[in-house]
Amino acid sequence: MADMALDLDSIQEALGYRFQKTALLEEALTHPSWLAEHERAEVDNQRLEFLGDAVLQLATSILLFEAFPAEDEGKLTRIRSALTKERTLADYALVLGLGEALRLGKGEQRHGGARRPSNLGDAFEAVLGAVFVDGGMEQAMAFVRRLAGPALADVDGLLAVENPKGALQEYTQEHYHGIPHYETVSVSGPDHEPRFEVAVVFHGERLAHAVAGSRRAAECHAAEAALRVLLERDHAP
């Protein structure tokens, strides 16, 4: 990084948190590949990532416990899983600009390490760990709440992305006391590249259909579309 102090200021502004010990943030942004190439560098972000992972699980659990007092353990666990998976953490890191700030070795940088989900997810957890060490659990909670909060406004949509068929079945059972079923409308194309058209049927109505290269994929796409149909219908003025 050409100007670490400038980058740290920019990252702190994006984080919405000002470090008392900026060395912690610097550590959180240091990938092991950088450490291998710089003799003066003393520590990478892996210890902070280890701590941040635990802080993330606790902070997210508290957030969900407070936000959804009527939900059971199973659904809370599924929501937490969706909020803490690698892809989600990588998205958080991209929003915060951590990819551009992450200190990487030349080889890792050359091979796209600044956008690799595993690197970004680790960097996010390391930064969260650094916030916890520097400011305590209250600041860590506030940090997680700012990032995860918007997703909680559409939990059904969040879960649908994770497991469309499961989310649709859970919704129909809860709100309509029934479950959907899937009909294969057609199979076309050559054997090496088939196309499956599948429809979701619920209470005798075809809610949605989708086409994909496998029956399972078509079912998932159709389930996601069907859930959107029901959500829009149920929340229409």
Domain CATH for 223: 3.30.160.20
Whether residue 57 is found in the same domain as residue 140: yes
pLDDT higher than threshold 50 for residue 77: yes
Which has the minimum average pLDDT: 14-18, 108-112, 127-131?
Answer: 108-112
Structural domain total, the chain: 2
Whether residue 8 is found in the same domain as residue 124: yes
Note whether 102 and 31 are within 8 A (CB).
yes
pLDDT level of residue 42 (50, 70, 90 thresholds): confident
Whether residue 12 is found in the same domain as residue 89: yes
Whether residue 128 is found in the same domain as residue 86: yes
Active site residue 3: no
- What separation, in Å, do the N-terminal and C-terminal C-alpha atoms of the chain show? 52
pTM check: above 0.85: no
Active site residue 44: no
Q: Which of 26, 53, 134, 170 is catalytic?
A: 53
Q: Which of 122, 125, 170, 219 is catalytic?
A: 125
Average pLDDT rounded to a whole number, residues 104-121: 89
User: What pLDDT is stored for residue 41 in this prediction?
Assistant: 63
Q: What percent of the chain has pLDDT over 70?
A: 96
Whether residue 192 is found in the same domain as residue 219: yes
| Token pair belonging to 51 | 């701590």
Amino acid type, 40: R
Whether residue 101 is found in the same domain as residue 21: yes
Whether residue 117 is found in the same domain as residue 205: no
| Token pair belonging to 57 | 């699980």
User: What pLDDT is stored for residue 222 in this prediction?
Assistant: 93
- If you write DSSP's letter for every residue of the chain in order, what string do you get? ---HHHHHHHHHHHHT---SSHHHHHHHTB-HHHHHH-TT----SHHHHHHHHHHHHHHHHHHHHHH-TT--HHHHHHHHHHHHSHHHHHHHHHHHTHHHH-B--HHHHHTTGGG-HHHHHHHHHHHHHHHHHHH-HHHHHHHHHHHHGGGGGGHHHHHHHH-HHHHHHHHHHHHHS---EEEEEEEES-TTS-EEEEEEEETTEEEEEEEESSHHHHHHHHHHHHHHHHHHHHT--
Question: Domain range holding 221?
Answer: 163-234
Which has the minimum average pLDDT: 43-57, 72-86, 120-134?
Answer: 72-86
pLDDT higher than threshold 80 for residue 178: yes
Whether residue 103 is found in the same domain as residue 204: no
Which has the minimum average pLDDT: 9-23, 104-118, 125-139, 169-183?
Answer: 104-118
User: What pLDDT is stored for residue 5 in this prediction?
Assistant: 43
> Positive or negative CA dihedral for 82, 19, 134, 39?
positive
| Token pair belonging to 201 | 């049927």
Residue 87's region, left for phi above 0, alpha for psi from -120 to 50, else beta, is: alpha
Residue 203's region, left for phi above 0, alpha for psi from -120 to 50, else beta, is: left
Whether residue 139 is found in the same domain as residue 172: no
Whether residue 73 is found in the same domain as residue 186: no
Whether residue 119 is found in the same domain as residue 11: yes
Query: Phi and psi for 170 in degrees, rounded to 5?
Result: -65, -40
Name the average pLDDT for the chain.
89
